[in-house]
């Protein structure tokens, strides 16, 4: 008697790869390693297909003599074989007065960005600040105006939290023509931040009830200034002095920066020197002529604050190549300024059908979330893309859906779906180009 399949059985057959499907693509298991069509394994050294005396069963050259001694590097560096994993610095942007360096998203794993690859954006160069001479002034609508040394700041109870930072021009709102994930969305990184609660510092100074905003100013040559709503300052805002376990790097605001989880990167003022409690925002350059969105009716959208839900596939992505048909893992990053990522869907047929991807733990609020989907590529041209859904229910839009609401005159806050095109040779390019 035939066994009847349930809807759940059919769904599993459609959306998941069984062990037999994976290994049936030509791969076999050898000594715990997958070789053949599944993971692209190579023949043993000495057998047809071997090209190096360092391959098994031979003894590789690096086993025949002791390695570098401890102390050869006072600050650890990556392997020389990873020398191409570096920040992506645009060639057409003057790298001093208005500079940026992008994270190589397609080369990284997990959700934490190494400090040396963390994206940077600055408006007046990177100042060299002696922490012993740096001060944070807190004044305006407070009972006790105060000036803090770095030692004073570090005496407050500390906390560490993982959050992303993203520039609001990531990518620019006009149709993006970048080639790689880094070109398009490399102004994005995630770290464990250590510092003190801004609310605690404001309580120390006696914040007055009529204070509705804090104006934050940096100690760079641009004296970058942004206005922060007091609700955010009393929620999860931090004054941070360490990143991924070590002191902030100069490019990230050493010795002190403001961290506003989920807010656009420009508001997380670096080299923080002054906080003024006021009743109205400052309407500074960076919140009027810049970092605003020109709408179709001619009005400008100001004080956008939160970065909307967004995602990008980082592997395979632009500039990469699938070497052969068969099993490949699609993986990428999702994030939202409004909280946790609830789900990520992936399409491998240009948005006609969607499959739910697996979210890698931990899934944290206002942090990058890694997603994964197993995929059998049949060697035919394909367009792959992802869309994020956050815990508020917001769904990442397509570019056409976004421009239908905001028009095409904006520059910032583009959170549209990013598709990648894969040709029959496995070459991956920007499907929007």
- 112 touches 135 (CB < 8 A): no
Of the chain, the end-to-end C-alpha distance in Å amounts to 55
Q: SS3 of 336, please?
A: coil
Question: With contact defined as beta carbons under 8 Å apart, do 3 and 10 qualify?
Answer: no
Query: Which residues are registered as beta bridge partners of 388?
Result: 344
State whether 341 and 255 are in the same domain: no
- pLDDT at residue 411, rounded to an integer: 85
pLDDT at 102 (0 to 100): 96
| Residues 266 and 333 both lie in one domain | no
Same domain, 173 and 245: yes
Residue 85 lies in a domain: no
Decide if 58 is inside a domain: no
Q: How far apart are CA 298 and CA 82, in angstroms?
A: 48
CA pair distance 333, 151, nearest whole angstrom: 37
The CATH number covering residue 285 comes to 3.90.420.10
Do 185 and 135 share a structural domain?
Answer: yes
Please identify which residue in the block is written with the tokens 């007065």: 97
Specify whether 265 is located in the same domain as 361.
Answer: no
**Beta bridge mates, 269:** none
Do 140 and 260 lie in one domain? The reply is: yes
Q: Let me know whether 315 and 421 are in one domain.
A: yes
Cβ neighbours of residue 298 closer than 8 Å, sequence gap 6 or more: none
Backbone Cα Rg of the chain: 25
234 in a domain, yes or no?
yes
Q: What is the pTM of this model?
A: 0.88
Give the pLDDT score at 136: 98
Which residue among 282, 301, 320 closes a domain? 301
Q: Are residues 244 and 318 in the same domain?
A: no
Q: What are phi and psi of 421, to 5 degrees?
A: -105, 130
364 and 287 inside one domain:
no
Same domain, yes or no, for 333 and 293?
Answer: no
What is the mean pLDDT for each group of 10 consecutive residues in the chain (433 residues)? 40 41 40 44 51 89 88 84 92 71 97 98 93 98 98 98 96 79 97 98 98 98 96 98 98 98 97 98 93 89 95 98 97 98 98 98 98 98 98 97 89 94 98 90
For residue 162, give Cα distances in angstroms to 85, 119, 244, 350, 368: 23, 16, 9, 33, 9
Instruction: Look at residue 43 in the predicted model and tell me its pLDDT.
Output: 53
In a domain, 352, yes or no: yes
Residue 287 lies in a domain: yes
Residue 20 lies in a domain: no
Using the 3D structure, point to which of 264, 282, 301 is the last residue of a domain: 301
Q: What is the spatial distance between Cα 22 and Cα 26, in angstroms, rounded to a whole number?
A: 8
Residue 60 falls within a domain, yes or no?
no
- Domain containing 171 equals 115-301
Domain stop point among 301, 327, 350: 301
**Does one domain contain both 167 and 192?**
yes
Is residue 49 in some structural domain?
Answer: no
Same domain, yes or no: 297 and 319 = no
What is the CATH number for 349?
2.60.40.650
- Total number of residues shown for the chain: 433
Structural domains in the chain (count): 2
Do the Cβ atoms of 341 and 392 come closer than 8 Å? no
CA-wise closest residue to 257 among 75, 100, 131, 76: 131
CA distance 240 to 198: 9
* Tokens read off for 382: 């394909």
């Amino acid at each position: 008697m035939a066994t009847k399949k349930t809807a759940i059985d059919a769904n599993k057959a459609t959306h998941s790869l069984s062990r037999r499907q994976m290994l049936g693509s030509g791969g076999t298991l050898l000594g715990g390693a997958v070789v053949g069509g599944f993971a692209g394994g190579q023949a043993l050294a000495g057998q047809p297909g071997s090209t190096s005396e360092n391959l098994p069963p031979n003894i590789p050259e690096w086993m025949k003599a002791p390695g570098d001694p401890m102390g050869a590097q006072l600050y650890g560096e990556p392997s020389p074989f990873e020398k191409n994993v570096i920040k992506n610095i645009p060639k057409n942007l003057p790298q001093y007065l208005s500079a940026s360096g992008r994270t190589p998203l397609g080369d990284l794993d997990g959700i934490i960005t190494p400090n040396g690859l963390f994206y940077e954006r600055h408006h007046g160069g990177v100042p060299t600040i002696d922490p012993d001479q740096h001060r944070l002034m807190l004044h305006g609508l407070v009972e006790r105006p105060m000036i803090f040394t770095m030692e004073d700041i570090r005496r407050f109870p500390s906390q560490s939290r993982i959050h992303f930072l993203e520039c609001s021009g990531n990518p620019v709102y006009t149709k993006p023509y970048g080639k790689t994930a880094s070109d398009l969305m490399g102004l994005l990184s995630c770290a464990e931040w250590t510092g003190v609660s801004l609310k605690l510092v404001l309580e120390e100074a006696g914040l007055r009830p009529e204070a509705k905003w804090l104006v934050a100013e940096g100690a760079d040559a641009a004296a970058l200034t942004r206005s922060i709503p007091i609700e955010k300052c009393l929620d999860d805002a931090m004054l941070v002095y360490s990143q991924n376990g070590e002191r902030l790097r100069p490019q990230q605001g050493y010795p002190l920066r403001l961290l506003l989880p989920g807010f656009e990167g420009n508001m997380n003022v670096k080299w923080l020197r002054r906080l003024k409690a006021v009743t109205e925002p400052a309407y500074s350059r960076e919140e009027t002529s810049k970092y605003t969105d020109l709408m179709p009716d001619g009005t400008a959208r100001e004080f956008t604050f939160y970065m909307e839900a967004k995602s990008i596939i980082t592997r395979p992505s632009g500039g990469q190549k699938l070497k052969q048909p068969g099993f490949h893992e699609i993986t990428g990053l999702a994030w939202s300024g409004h909280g946790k990522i609830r789900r990520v869907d992936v399409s491998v047929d240009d948005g006609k059908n969607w499959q739910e991807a697996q979210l890698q733990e931990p899934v944290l609020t206002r942090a990058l979330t890694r997603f994964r989907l197993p995929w059998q590529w049949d060697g035919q041209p394909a367009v792959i893309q992802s869309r994020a859904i956050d815990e508020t229910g917001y769904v990442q839009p397509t570019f056409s859906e976004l421009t239908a609401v905001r028009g095409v005159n904006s520059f910032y806050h583009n959170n549209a779906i990013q598709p990648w095109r894969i040709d029959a040779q496995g070459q991956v390019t920007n499907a929007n180009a």
